[in-house]
Structures are given as structure tokens and as C-alpha cells.
Amino acid sequence: MKKFTWGHGITIVLIMIMVGFSYVLFMSFNREYDLVAEDYYAKELTFQDEIDKRENALRADKRIATTFDSEHLVLEFMGIESTPDSGSVKLFRPSSKSLDLTFDMKLDTAQRLFIPFEKLQKGKYIIQADWTENQTSFYVEETVFVP
């Protein structure tokens, strides 16, 4: 049997490095990467509109308070005087776009929206509310962690 030399050691190390790189390359091709938005170029063109809506919400002190009852995530829209003309609430899940949810902004008389827990997964959601009230557009974002 041949004696183990430094040449054998270098060969083993190089083979281990190549196997490691091959494993990382293989795993990177099998991972799914979701874009934040499929139409991000179009959203970039209208980003100034979103900034204006955020400023409108700040000036009018519009915000969302999140609470939980036994069966729902409760979104309470603070600062809304009348029923919104139109709008939507998106629950954006950063970890997977398949878990994103969108609801029409149909509020009760106390300006609350109830979202059942069975539609949600545990983890982080970003609430993105976009609505029009008295011909003024508003946009508010809040982060919530569903237990």
C-alpha cells in the first residue's frame, strides 16, 4: 500500500470543494424565488402615486390598528369618517406569494374588517390598504405577526 502524501491530501480537499460547489449549485436550481411583484416595472412607473397616497394618509391621520379575537384578525381603520368609495386590503406574505390574500374593503359600522384565521398561516404579513374616500386616495401599510 502506498504511503499517504501531501499530494493525496490536496486531491481530497479539491474533490471536497468541487462536491460542495456542485451541491450548492444543484440546490440553487431547485429553490423557488418569488418576485415581490410580477409587474414591478409598471409599479415603478406609478410609485409617485403611492407616495402621494401615503402622504394623504399621514396628513389625515389614517392608520390601521390590528387586534386578534378568538377567530379573526381584526383590522380597525382609524381616522375614516365615512364608508370608503372603493378600496382593497392585501395581506402580503414576504415568504411566499401563494399565501398572499386580497379582500375588498367592506367595513362594518365601526370601520373594522374581520379576516378569519383559517385563511391565514402563522407568520409575518404586511397589510397593504389602498382606498378612496371623498375623492381622495389613501395608502397605508402595517406589519402583523399571526400567532
What cell was used for 51? 407616495
Give residue-wise pLDDT tens across range 26-84.
998 887 766 667 777 777 888 889 899 999 999 999 999 999 988 999 999 988 877 78
The one-character DSSP state at 18 is H
121 exposure class (CB count in 10 Å sphere: 0-12, 13-18, 19+): middle
pLDDT at 36: 67
pLDDT, tens only, 112-128: 999 998 999 999 999 99
Q: Which of 144, 53, 39 has its CA nearest to residue 91?
A: 144
Spatial contact of 126 and 81, defined as CB atoms under 8 Å apart: no
Architecture of the domain made up of 40-146: Sandwich (2.60)
Q: Is the Cβ–Cβ distance between 130 and 53 less than 8 Å?
A: yes
Q: Chain-wide mean pLDDT for the chain?
A: 88
- The model's confidence at residue 147, banded by pLDDT at 50, 70 and 90, is confident
Q: Which residues contact 93 (CB under 8 A, 6 or more apart)?
A: 99, 100, 121, 123, 124, 125, 126
Model pLDDT, residue 102 = 92
Task: Read off the pLDDT band of 106 (50, 70, 90).
Answer: confident
Which pLDDT belongs to residue 134? 87
